[in-house]
Structure 1
């Protein structure tokens, strides 16, 4: 598998400033060129670690999740990774071999590894190698429901998750890491793949918020009323009901990591 990995740096003074970055009332696009050294963040209790914060809850926009690309240097990591007791998380590794300690067991991760971390679980992450390790970290405040247990921890790899074609086509499919009918889960993080020529053939318009990070390839994506070119390393952030569609013209596959909130009633009060 191929996964785009940001490396930071800073453009020279001879480079053009203009890029495809845009923030609108319905969507945002953060091209890979925006992920530079000077826009990284540091987190408490993380050693030799920096992160590109791609999304965070904003009132009136996408409100349910945050998403980071986290780069951990050799020997870095954290024994106290998250200070939010209600936070659940998904980690998806795109580079390196970090070790995830989860509920007393160690898991050697590699590119393509996926971990679901329920709220309140004890976890740590360390990079014991001589190279950097990079992973996506998607966080959400878990919405507990009476008489519905929280999900268990899960560690798997995308090689072990079958691609499920969409009805009527082999050109567009999804790798679902958890059962979509399991209402214990209030978020899904999947990988969507388009073969060259594949398309979403109608403007999806729905209540789920989205974060889409392009892992591989390029395509044109409909965001509200605009067709936008996107490529590996770009991030798209969609609020609820933003129309979306896609056409993947090739020459290779187009793949992205997709977040969406699911399986809960809409909140009627703050």
Structure 2
């Protein structure tokens, strides 16, 4: 860090209970018990209005969490953007490189260790699991580079990847949505589900609660329930992001 070279400005937009855009320039390091040699930024939490917690984690050499992340009633998910990590639970272990991910069901703690001398960059997620009688989710390991994209809503220039099974045992999913330049949503969505999205690449104009707002690579967006939302991809690169979605459960009274 250094003295500012100009006026203090920010692209951040925070509408508590509605939506938020969190650019990378404003992120700070949070000290989280259990994480060693890591920079951890909390991107979304219930303090904002989200029902989950999303993190951006940068692991330095020897970075790790060997105390465990998650636990009773909490499901977790980790996605490796850069570098290489070892992930494990009591029942399963895996080595994740760029594009690799692991989902851990409630009751299974997730352990993380950086396996390279350089930095490893992760997206980390946790939420309370909503049980369903007779159903139990399981540990899922995969890599997006080994999953075929499918066309999104009959639009050839928009593709989606589902990272978790479409099984009622899972009350959430993670997706990667990719828009070619000039790609867009087919309509303005207004729904009960909320999302947390981290932008991997490109630029776009996002429609959020009746406003058009520019977004780009490195931004994080939280979408609250029933917030009108849609995007146009702009610029020369594909716009791509990983996002969370609650699913497979009825609305509670």
Structure 1 residue aligned with 2:12: 21
Partner SS for 2:215: strand
Is residue 46–residue 81 contact of structure 1 (8 Å, CA) maintained in 2? no
Tell me, in whole angstroms, the C-alpha distance in 1 between the residues paired with 2:24 and 2:2.
12
Tell me, in whole angstroms, the C-alpha distance in 1 between the residues paired with 2:164 and 2:105.
13
Tell me, in whole angstroms, the C-alpha distance in 2 between the residues paired with 1:83 and 1:117.
8
Structure 2 residue aligned with 1:68: 55
In structure 1, stretches of 5+ residues that fail to align are: 1-9
Q: C-alpha deviations, 1:149-195, integer Å up to 9, x for none? A: x2111111011111111132111121001233x11111111110001
**For 1:231, which of 216, 219, 226 is the aligned residue?**
216
Match runs of 1:21-100 below 5 Å:
21-25=12-16, 26-35=18-27, 39-58=28-47, 61-62=49-50, 64-82=51-69, 84-100=71-87
Partner SS for 2:115: coil
Partner SS for 1:189: strand
How much has 1:122 moved relative to structure 2? 4.3
TM-score (norm 1): 0.88
How much has 1:251 moved relative to structure 2? 0.6
Match runs of 1:96-107 below 5 Å:
96-107=83-94
Tell me, in whole angstroms, the C-alpha distance in 1 between the residues paired with 2:200 and 2:185.
18
TM-score (norm 2): 0.94
How much has 1:102 moved relative to structure 2? 3.0
How much has 1:76 moved relative to structure 2? 2.0
Higher strand share: 2
Work out the number of aligned pairs and report it. Answer: 252
Q: C-alpha deviations, 1:195-253, integer Å up to 9, x for none? A: 11101131100000111110111110100111010000001111100000110123110
Structure 1 residue aligned with 2:152: 166
Tell me, in whole angstroms, the C-alpha distance in 2 between the residues paired with 1:179 and 1:84.
21
Partner SS for 1:81: strand
After superposing on structure 2, the runs of 4+ consecutive aligned residues of structure 1 that deviate more than 4 Å are none
